[in-house]
């Protein structure tokens, strides 16, 4: 029985090369495999009926139509089952209402579209049809798409958020369990004083123009002395470099793009002077030359320049984040409390700081233990 609320499914035959009826895909009596075809949401779908019998293919056809039309005749229009695609659209609207950034919304959209396509290839069209086996198979595709375990963990968080939304909306009666993602923590690699000096000395060897030399050096020093990520540093506005009249120093006052946490860090006089003097054509930004276009493109260009600098300085695996690590480890080694380091880095939780800089936290604790032990009174020797 065909229902107008669902797709019209048709049966067709994929004949073998030796079949006498190869030109007629609607021929019913041969023993070639039967398949199903339908249009839905502007797309064409094909699926094996898993039979060579036309009668059995008719049953498979009705099964597909019934799944689409489940409850359609009894339920009001708004209560009819939502497809995975429709559920994703509603979920994305909800995220927009929450005020998530456009870049985050795009990530949800891209990753959930992959889920939709994956499920449709497995002939699953509704949220209630997604089971744990499907999700395990879907997660198995992530290793090629996302080499970093940290990225896969963030993708997992977003996928869980969607399934939780489906549960809270009443589209599924339980949340299928995902496989855990074990995060392989990237080792923290701060630069030593000699390595940092070598990096600065290499700037003139890599960049020919004086203008570019001044810009690169100023950005490197900004990241080293504030702990800003490259994205926050590249998009730093002139208005966020504020003169502290009391200390007679400049301080960076901004919000971390990643967490929205406030950051306020003072700069050495000579560093702030070089940052302010760095040539840039845009009156609003210190390092984003155009200030237009995509923020990601500007950051990518600077990443390329800094990686080239690290490589030329003799650090082939070097990356800009090491400047942030150098700032954090330098504070910890000077005895700055972990809670204060977390504030300066813009971490939402001290746990994040402790996780990323655990070896240096332990080293500092060992040194404190030695100092405490040194204050103990030693037993007097009996003469």
Give residue 63's pLDDT.
Answer: 83
257-269 burial: b if 16+ Cβ within 10 Å, else e:
beeebebebbbee
What is the per-residue pLDDT across 295-334, written as a single tens digit (0 to 9) for each?
888 999 999 999 999 999 999 888 899 999 999 999 888 8
pLDDT, mean of residues 211-222: 96
Cβ atoms within 10 Å of 115's Cβ, excluding its own: 20
Cβ neighbours for 316, distance < 8 A, ≥ 6 positions apart: 310
Give residue 147's pLDDT.
Answer: 78
Give residue 379's pLDDT.
Answer: 65
pLDDT class of 1 with cuts at 50, 70, 90: very low
Cβ atoms within 10 Å of 129's Cβ, excluding its own: 16
What is the per-residue pLDDT across 242-288, written as a single tens digit (0 to 9) for each?
998 888 899 999 887 667 778 889 999 999 999 999 999 889 999 99
Cβ atoms within 10 Å of 274's Cβ, excluding its own: 19
What is the per-residue pLDDT across 80-122, written as a single tens digit (0 to 9) for each?
568 898 899 999 999 988 888 887 889 999 999 999 999 988 8
Give residue 222's pLDDT.
Answer: 96
Report the phi/psi class of residue 41: left, alpha or beta, with left for phi > 0 and alpha for psi in -120 to 50.
left
Q: Phi and psi of 367, rounded to 5°?
A: -65, -40
pLDDT class of 369 with cuts at 50, 70, 90: confident
Instruction: Determine which of 130-139, 269-278, 333-342 has the lowest per-residue pLDDT on average.
Output: 333-342
The rounded Cα 203 to chain-centroid distance in angstroms is 31
Instruction: Determine which of 182-196, 224-238, 245-259 has the lowest per-residue pLDDT on average.
Output: 182-196
pTM of the model: 0.58
Give residue 185's pLDDT.
Answer: 62
Q: Has residue 221 got a pLDDT over 70?
A: yes
Q: Has residue 223 got a pLDDT over 90?
A: yes
Give residue 100's pLDDT.
Answer: 83
pLDDT class of 182 with cuts at 50, 70, 90: confident
pLDDT class of 151 with cuts at 50, 70, 90: confident
pLDDT class of 364 with cuts at 50, 70, 90: low
Cα torsion through 3, 6, 8, 11, rounded to 10? -100
The rounded Cα 234 to chain-centroid distance in angstroms is 19
pLDDT class of 143 with cuts at 50, 70, 90: confident
Residue bearing the bigger pLDDT, 73 or 207: 207
DSSP string, 153-212: HHHHHHHHHHHHHHHHTTS-SS-PPPPP----PPPP-PPPHHHHHHHHHHHHHH--SHHH
Q: Whole-angstrom Cα distance, residue 243 to residue 249?
A: 6
Q: Phi and psi of 254, rounded to 5°?
A: -150, -175
Q: Has residue 74 got a pLDDT over 60?
A: no
Give residue 77's pLDDT.
Answer: 39
Cβ neighbours for 91, distance < 8 A, ≥ 6 positions apart: 108, 112, 162, 165, 166
Instruction: Determine which of 3-7, 60-64, 79-83, 144-148 has the lowest per-residue pLDDT on average.
Output: 3-7
Residue bearing the bigger pLDDT, 65 or 168: 168
Helix (H, G, I), strand (E, B) or coil at 337: coil
Report the phi/psi class of residue 316: left, alpha or beta, with left for phi > 0 and alpha for psi in -120 to 50.
alpha
**Which CATH fold topology does 193-368 show?**
hpI Integrase; Chain A (1.10.443)
Laid out side by side, the sheet with 249-255 consists of 241-244, 249-255, 262-266
Chain mean pLDDT for the chain: 85
Give residue 71's pLDDT.
Answer: 46
Q: Has residue 167 got a pLDDT over 60?
A: yes
Q: Whole-angstrom Cα distance, residue 341 to residue 305?
A: 28
């Amino acid at each position: 029985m065909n229902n107008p609320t669902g797709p019209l499914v048709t049966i067709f035959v994929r004949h073998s090369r030796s079949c006498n009826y190869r030109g007629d895909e609607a021929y019913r009596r041969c023993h070639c495999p039967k398949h199903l075809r339908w249009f839905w949401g502007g797309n064409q779908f094909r699926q094996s009926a898993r039979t060579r019998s036309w009668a059995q293919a008719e049953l498979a056809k009705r099964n597909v139509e019934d799944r689409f039309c489940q409850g359609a005749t009894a339920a009001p229009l708004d209560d009819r089952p939502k497809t995975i695609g429709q559920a994703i659209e509603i979920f994305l609207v909800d995220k927009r209402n929450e005020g998530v950034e456009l870049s985050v919304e795009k990530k949800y959209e891209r990753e959930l579209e992959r889920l939709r396509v994956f499920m449709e290839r497995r002939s699953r069209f509704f949220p209630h049809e997604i089971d744990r086996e499907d999700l395990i198979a879907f997660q198995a595709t992530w290793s090629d798409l996302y080499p970093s375990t940290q990225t896969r963990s963030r993708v997992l968080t977003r996928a869980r958020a969607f399934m939780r939304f489906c549960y809270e909306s009443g589209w599924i009666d339980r949340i299928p369990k995902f496989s855990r993602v074990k995060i392989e923590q990237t080792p923290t690699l701060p630069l030593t004083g000699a390595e940092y000096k070598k990096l600065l000395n290499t700037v003139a060897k890599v960049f020919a123009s004086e203008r570019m030399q001044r810009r690169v050096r100023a950005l490197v020093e900004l990241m080293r002395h504030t702990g800003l990520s490259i994205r926050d540093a590249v998009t730093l506005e002139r208005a966020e470099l504020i003169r502290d009249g009391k200390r007679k120093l400049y301080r960076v006052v901004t919000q971390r793009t990643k967490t929205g946490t406030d950051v306020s860090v003072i700069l050495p006089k000579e560093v702030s002077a070089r940052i302010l003097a760095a040539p840039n054509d845009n009156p609003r930004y210190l390092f984003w030359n155009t200030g237009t276009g995509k923020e990601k493109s500007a950051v990518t260009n600077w990443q390329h320049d800094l990686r080239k600098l690290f490589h030329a300085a003799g650090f082939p695996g070097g990356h800009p984040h090491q400047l942030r690590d150098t700032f954090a480890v330098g504070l910890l080694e000077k005895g700055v409390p972990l809670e204060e380091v977390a504030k300066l880095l813009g971490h939402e939780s001290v746990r994040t700081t402790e996780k990323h800089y655990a070896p240096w936290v332990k080293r500092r604790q060992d040194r404190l233990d030695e100092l405490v032990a040194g204050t103990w009174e030693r037993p007097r020797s009996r003469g």
